[in-house]
Amino acid sequence: MARSLDEHDDYDDDHTGGHVEPHRGVLILVLGILGLMVCGIIGIFAWIMGKRDLDLMRRGLMDKEGEALTKVGYILGIVATILLCFWLLFVVLYFVFIIAVVAAK
């Protein structure tokens, strides 16, 4: 049986007939915020997923409606990852300092 055009299962908004993946902008934004506020490791996932989804959007394989949300989540993921790296560097330097002080006594 032929499908009618009213069935919008996976069609994009401009009705070109091509199948596109739905965007995950809200998920990436939430991961970026959680990475920034709660746990920096989550920011890595926002960064990776955001990069992939933005690439798919540029190639026309993903719905571009969530591009703004995806970009914000992607940037928050990068910031969260950078802050995580600074925090880890601080912790390592702190332990090195403590070990040096204990060893000096």
Show me where the domains of the chain are located: 25-104
Q: CA 72: distance to chain centroid?
A: 9
Q: Which residues of the chain have pLDDT under 50?
A: 1, 6-8, 10-12, 14-15
Q: Which H or E run contains 80?
A: helix 67-104
pLDDT score, position 83 = 96
pLDDT for position 92 = 97
Question: What's the pTM?
Answer: 0.77
Q: What is the DSSP letter of 2?
A: P
Q: What is the pLDDT of residues 85-105, one digit of tens each?
A: 999 999 999 999 999 999 988
Classified as helix, coil or strand, 59 is coil
Above pLDDT 70, what percent of the chain? 83
pLDDT value, residue 65: 94
